[in-house]
Chains A and B, each alone.
Chain A
């Protein structure tokens, strides 16, 4: 073969390779555009065919399905398809893209039939009339299976717009070694009320060098999630039944006074709560350098998994004059209004809220179960870390569902910081916040 011919042959081969590559690339693109069809998919944006095309197909959108739970969905989706003679299109998106994905799909008439997502997004989609009310299901036997507070977390404007899929809540940790050093009984710590907690904190402060109590004041969401326990348990609220702000009630002022006095008057907290995030105080406790802290189940699990060697106990978050609460964050499963297969969508909910199936999910994923009977199983009840959290299910309370909750929360936290930083009295701080919030909510 002459050089010239060889050159042509090479060019010819190059073109073929290029066409092949283009073809392969095109196939990949087309496959990608079609979405992740079939069970067990993970990570595509799922913009496939719109929900409810009239056929026996059902779109199930979830978020954050990692390796630890992928197999669970693969197996169960397949089982649901077999049992219900339906084709299930299962899609998982990452949390970063989740909210935008849901909104885009709803706005573009491509909503899934069923979606699993944070319950705090419910108001936005109810505003778009994008969700099916599930009062018929949640009002009957199906809804009766759930912890009441968790089910309430899926309620908005008097109707249920989802069923609680998973939850996380808070309990109260204390360091047994520190309590012993302070002369307190580590096995019977008497931490039932805020006043009990304050008394113990004062003793720890007097008798030891360890800061008695962790308060987080640096970050808006975290500060709120710590403080609202005090606020609610004093009988205060953030908004009334009409969604109007009511942060500066007498009870609210009492709660914030108690909260800020822990640092300013009693000096029982770590130094500078306004510098501390929730992570800071959690790490202090996990390192054995803090007497007490409100935290979530992973604090105990982290201590068990670490080389740190100290005893800790978990009790319920102390109660105030009007009750006890455990801040609850909830993932809900909702049916989207664009669906044309509403019955099949509800069947999917019934399928996944089967007790055994829900137990497997909670166990594998490490989330709080939302079905009471599952929480009563030995696996959770016999665990020193899990049992108090299961018990806390009865005190569950979610943040109010507001479309502009972040902005609302930031303003409330500013008031908390002003009081904690001794910039304003609790009354003045909350009055100013109330005024701004009234303007914000119109």
Chain B
């Protein structure tokens, strides 16, 4: 076939000519990847563009009427108190959730990496929560936290800590903690497994050398384990942040965003606005803002973590 000789460097001077030369000389390669590009544009590009287009319309979902309103939806969102409340609630949900998952995952991974009895069993068992559909786990947690029937309240009552069941998910102050608890339970196994894989890739020699030099376990953890795990932690927390940010099932199943909208995040609000309340245009505008926030976060996060010249 001789594809290799087709990939030649352009020789012309002007940028346009160089580009055309490149295209001409590598046309076969572009032709071959064209179906993939078309497919990706169809399944990734089109929904994004359609969401952006919709965000410029006053578009009720229950009728076919659409009215072009330009950036009005965005202006309304940015001028509303709800948006900033949602930002705070989403940030709280993501930061606390990801931090808890990372810390717990690290704790579990370090223990599973040690020589403990039943290690294989525990490694398998820790995967179970991640394998259960999120909505099912959320329902289970709803029952655990139920004020009348829940185990959590029953234990506290038995211990004499409280006299009657606390409606965790009905309390505007603490309902978000009730949903975060479920999300942490679901997401921690992923963190644990990823970090365990990272731990197992650290050469044992480093620990032996540190031990010979008299380093305590904490110093070994701080100066060997954590730096060696940096890349893994970066990827795991980035993925976890994205998943937690876009997480819908847990909150919607457990509280529907309530009570008094205190557990809503941007994602559940988008669903309620766009689909439940039938305001597709406004829902799409929230979606675009959420998408941009997530993109900005990912870029900044990767920049900060790779500022020392490290490549992922």
Contacts and interface: CB of A to CB of B under 8 A. Distances in A.
Interface of A: 99, 103, 107, 121, 124, 127-128, 217-220, 270-276, 280, 284, 289, 403-404, 406-407, 410, 414, 417-418, 421, 423
Nearest to B255: A218
B168 A218 contact: no
A421 B260 contact: yes
Contacts of B256: 218-220
28 contacts: A99-B62, A107-B64, A127-B63, A217-B170, A218-B170, A219-B256, A271-B148, A271-B165, A271-B166, A272-B170, A272-B171, A273-B167, A274-B167, A274-B170, A274-B258, A274-B260, A275-B170, A276-B147, A284-B148, A407-B277, A407-B279, A410-B277, A417-B258, A417-B259, A418-B260, A421-B171, A421-B172, A421-B260
A276 B148 CA distance: 10
Given A404-B277, A407-B278, A124 B171 contact: no
B164 interface: yes
Interface string B137-180: 00000000011100000000000000011111111100000000
The majority secondary structure among interface residues of chain B is: loop
B237 interface: no
A129 to B, nearest CB: 12
Contacts of A421: 170-172, 259-260
Contact of B63 (A124, A217, A273, A289): A124
Contact of A271 (B164, B259, B260): B164
Contacts of B249: none
Contacts of B64: 103, 107
Given A272-B147, A289-B148, A404 B258 contact: no
B82 to A, nearest CB: 10
B231 interface: no
Contact of A406 (B171, B258, B278): B278
Contacts of A423: 172, 260
A294 B64 CA distance: 38
Contacts of B277: 404, 406-407, 410
B60 A403 contact: yes
Interface residues of B, number: 27
Interface of B: 60, 62-64, 146-148, 164-172, 255-256, 258-261, 272, 276-279
Nearest to B168: A275
Contacts of B278: 404, 406-407
Nearest to A404: B278
B62 A124 contact: yes
Contact of B169 (A121, A124, A275): A275
Nearest to A275: B170
A406 B63 contact: no
A423 B165 CA distance: 20
The 9 closest A-B pairs by CB, nearest first: A272-B167, A275-B170, A274-B170, A275-B167, A407-B277, A272-B170, A274-B259, A272-B147, A417-B260
B161 to A, nearest CB: 15
A423 B171 CA distance: 11
Nearest to A220: B256
Contacts of B60: 403-404
A217 B146 CA distance: 14
Contacts of B259: 217-218, 274-275, 417, 421
Nearest to B146: A275
Contacts of A218: 169-170, 255-256, 258-259
A417 B261 CA distance: 10
Contacts of B169: 218, 275
Given A107-B64, A124-B63, A217-B170, A270 B148 contact: yes
Nearest to A106: B64
Given A284-B148, A406-B276, A410-B276, 8 more contacts: A124-B62, A124-B63, A289-B148, A406-B278, A407-B279, A417-B258, A418-B260, A421-B171
A224 to B, nearest CB: 13
